[in-house]
């Protein structure tokens, strides 16, 4: 079930900055379409276009879907009343699958083909590359750290402790073609260009067949579980480091809007962005109901992608432990740091990538709708 795509928090340490979120999304007795707080300011159906199938990294979205939801197996969409902590918000909420469900189109460009989409998933490096043709403005970041990683076999390479160590040792690194981070790391001298093998296709076959002789791209929120528990031909832990901890500090899976719709959505954003913040905390503290929706939807889709109770539960704990979800440098969840985004822009420019002239972090994000009282 692989795909293209550090101080930790333990569950005992997580506390809410607001008492109301303590119950997560477990009480969803309200039906959709009621007279909730969003009904007068947001679209009747709020639509989020994601970049992949349902999974625990998207849990804060599915946490907002109430009872009586529907799963469309043709379009791979989950739709239901939008709720938070038992409160009916008065609109419907629709989460759309990305990846193969949209012909592997970039989310940014796909958003511009469908005016019904309210938010699209936006990764910092993709925002830079698509800015001139399909810009997205990030308004909230459910994930604090990008889950993407490079992994290796600790038995084969016991002295490798980091991505930089892979570079120094000259180990082949199997990645998807066209990855921005690869070019940035080469430009920064972390890797050499001849180490990069861009033939990775998402399958575990090569890593297992070569008994860990190569390093490989993956997601820290999924593959470590799969290699130890799902792939019987491997069946042991892998070592890894996130791209973030190696210095490639993009924001992943932020919720972005079309900048030309910002004025129209302004009143909605004032109300709904804090809802997304609350849902991040609520989901992490009480993930089961949203995870059940994720597993149910994926099961009904009956595609190559699979999810289970075990992997979704493990992923939430892994996200907490690695700090993939959590506050930024302050006590606020969901906000973004301009210097961090600017560092990505500068790194891409130094690597000779196509960066629009004069582009700055302020063109890619805003914290103006963030409620600074909400955090872990």
Of 238, 326, 243, which Cα lies nearest the Cα of 284? 326
Question: Is 3 a domain residue?
Answer: no
Q: Are residues 315 and 290 in contact, defined by beta-carbon separation less than 8 angstroms?
A: no
Sole residue written with tokens 């961090």: 340
212 and 286 in a single domain? The answer is no
Over residues 314-363, the pLDDT tens digits come to: 999 999 999 999 998 899 999 999 999 999 999 999 999 999 999 999 99
- Same domain? For 71 and 199 the reply is no
Report the sign of the C-alpha dihedral through residues 165, 167, 172, 176, in that order: positive
For residues 233 and 264, membership in a common domain is answered with: no
| Domain stops at, among 184, 217, 242 | 242
Contacts 24+ apart (CB under 8 A), 207-213: 207/174, 207/234, 208/233, 208/234, 211/153, 211/156, 212/152, 212/153, 212/155, 212/156, 212/157, 212/238, 213/153, 213/156, 213/172
CATH number at residue 255: 3.40.190.10
Q: What mean pLDDT do residues 233-248 have?
A: 97
- φ and ψ of 100, to 5 deg: -65, -25
* Cβ–Cβ < 8 Å for 220, 146: no
Domain assignment present for residue 296? The answer is yes
Interval 127-142 mean pLDDT: 97
> Residue 344's Cα: distance from chain center in Å?
17
Q: Are residues 210 and 153 part of one domain?
A: yes
Quick check: 76 pLDDT over 80? yes
Same domain, 140 and 277: yes
Co-location of 200 and 230 in the same domain: yes
Residue 53 has pLDDT above 70, yes or no: yes
Same domain membership, residue 260 and residue 155: no
**Average pLDDT, integer, range 17-30:** 36
Backbone torsions φ then ψ of 77, nearest 5 degrees: -125, 140
pLDDT of residue 365 exceeding 90, the answer is yes
Q: Are residues 228 and 320 in the same domain?
A: no
Can you tell me the distance from the alpha carbon of 278 to that of 292, in angstroms, rounded to the nearest whole number? 19
Q: Are strands 77-84 and 87-96 parallel, antiparallel or unpaired?
A: antiparallel
Pair of tokens at residue 227 = 């290699």
CB hemisphere CA count around 68 (13 angstroms): 12
Domain count, the chain: 2
Q: Report the mean per-residue pLDDT for the chain.
A: 91
Asked whether residue 104 is assigned to any structural domain, the reply reads yes
Q: Are residues 64 and 172 in the same domain?
A: no
In a domain, 66, yes or no: yes
Confirm whether 101 is domain-assigned. Answer: yes
- Residue at which a domain ends, from 212, 242, 272: 242
Answer yes or no: is 14 within a domain.
Answer: no
> What residues make up the domain containing 209?
148-242
pLDDT tens by residue, 178-211: 889 999 999 999 999 999 999 998 899 999 999 9
* Predicted pLDDT at 199: 94
* Domain final residue pick, 225, 242, 259: 242
Instruction: Give 49's strand partners.
Output: 96, 120
In a shared domain, residues 334 and 235:
no
Give 57's pLDDT tier (boundaries 50, 70, 90).
Answer: very high
Contact 132, 218 (CB under 8 A): no
Residue at 368 is within a domain: no
User: Quick check: is 183 in a domain?
Assistant: yes
Number of H helices, E strands in the chain: 11, 12
171 and 135 belong to one structural domain = no
Q: Which of 272, 300, 264 has its CA nearest to residue 82?
A: 272
Within this chain, do residues 257 and 329 fall inside the same structural domain, yes or no?
yes
pLDDT at 11 over 80: no
CA dist 312 → 268, 273, 339 (Å): 31, 25, 32
């Amino acid at each position: 079930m692989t795909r293209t795509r550090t101080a930790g928090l333990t569950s005992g340490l997580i506390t809410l900055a607001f008492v109301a979120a303590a119950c997560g999304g477990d009480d969803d007795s309200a039906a959709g379409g009621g007279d909730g707080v969003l009904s007068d300011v947001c679209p009747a159906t709020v639509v989020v276009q994601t970049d992949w199938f349902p999974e625990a990294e998207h849990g804060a979205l599915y946490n907002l879907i109430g009872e009586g939801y529907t799963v469309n197996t043709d379009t791979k969409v989950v739709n239901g009343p939008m709720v938070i902590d038992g409160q009916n918000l008065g609109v419907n909420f629709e989460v759309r699958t990305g990846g193969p469900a949209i012909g592997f189109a970039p989310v940014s460009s796909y958003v511009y083909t469908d005016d019904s989409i309210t938010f699209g998933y936006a990764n910092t490096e993709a925002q830079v590359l698509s800015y001139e043709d399909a810009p997205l403005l990030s308004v909230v970041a459910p994930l604090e750290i990008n889950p993407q990683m490079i992994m290796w076999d600790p038995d084969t390479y016991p002295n490798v402790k980091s991505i930089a160590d892979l570079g120094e040792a000259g180990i082949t690194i199997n990645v998807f073609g066209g990855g921005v981070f690869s070019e940035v790391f080469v430009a920064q001298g972390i890797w050499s260009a001849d180490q990069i093998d861009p033939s990775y296709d998402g399958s575990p076959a090569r890593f297992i067949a070569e008994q860990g002789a190569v390093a490989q791209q993956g997601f820290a929120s999924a593959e470590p579980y799969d290699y130890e528990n799902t792939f019987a031909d491997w069946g042991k832990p892998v070592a890894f480091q996130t791209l973030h901890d190696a210095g490639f500090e993009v924001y992943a899976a932020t919720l972005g809007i079309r900048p030309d719709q910002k004025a129209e959505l302004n009143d909605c954003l004032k109300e709904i962005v804090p809802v997304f913040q609350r849902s991040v905390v609520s989901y992490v503290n009480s993930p089961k109901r949203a995870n059940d929706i994720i597993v149910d939807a994926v099961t009904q889709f009956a595609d190559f992608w699979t999810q289970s109770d075990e992997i979704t539960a493990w992923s939430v704990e892994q996200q907490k432990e690695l700090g993939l979800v959590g506050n930024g440098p302050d006590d606020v969840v969901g906000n973004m740091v301009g210097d961090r985004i600017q560092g990505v822009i500068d790194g891409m420019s130094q690597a000779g990538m196509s960066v629009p002239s004069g582009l700055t972090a302020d063109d890619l994000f805003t914290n103006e709708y963030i409620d600074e009282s909400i955090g872990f």
